[in-house]
Chain A
């Protein structure tokens, strides 16, 4: 099956710092990846669509300068949370398309 990995699986950072999360498709190439965030006991909320070789498409209300997305290769998309604040603490999940959508294991971000 299609395998998607994320790194790191969890990260703790200080307020004001930037954090980069990687999403990789391990056994297939993905021209499109998606980034979601999920708060405790809530559903997944789509943040943006990451397109290889072009700019990401952000959902309404998601700040593109806050959440930088780079999809530089067919197997890697990165999400950088810039100047993180405690309210950015969340579970960030990526997915990649191969037929259907396959999800990574998620990254738990805690901003102190």
Chain B
């Protein structure tokens, strides 16, 4: 289930299940969105991105959905594996700000074997 900790929401899933991680973004002028995975003590790693002229994009085992009406982004991970355990951040890039990224609060995904 999903719970909110002191700082980071957490999501706990069973290995093999699908995971859905949600994110609300703040700037209606943002036209580019990215999901990053961050393992403990490491820098963020690119997972998948989507531009504002799309509402869905699929990668390998991952899908990103964008709902501009409610400023909502989600990351779906199919057949979640223990190696997927990490913190996941969405980031938005406001239009015409030189590629600057604004990060969401993050969700800690824990995969139980």
Contact = CB atoms under 8 A, between A and B. Distances in A.
A86 to B, nearest CB: 19
B101 A46 contact: yes
A99 B100 CA distance: 12
Interface string B61-87: 000000000000000000000000000
A48 to B, nearest CB: 10
Contact of A43 (B6, B43, B98, B105): B105
Contacts of B44: 44, 93, 103
Contacts of A46: 100-103
A101 B105 CA distance: 18
Contacts, number: 54
A93 B45 CA distance: 12
Contacts of A104: 43
Contact of A49 (B5, B7, B98, B103): B98
A18 to B, nearest CB: 23
Interface in A58-112: 91, 93, 95, 97, 100-106, 108
Contacts of A97: 99
A105 B42 contact: yes
Contact of B98 (A4, A32, A91, A100): A32
Nearest to B7: A41
Interface string B1-15: 000011110000000
Interface of B: 5-8, 34, 36, 41-46, 49, 89, 98-106
Interface of A: 4, 6, 32, 34, 36, 41-46, 49, 91, 93, 95, 97, 100-106, 108
Given A42-B105, A43-B103, 8 more contacts: A34-B101, A41-B6, A42-B8, A46-B102, A95-B43, A101-B101, A103-B36, A105-B43
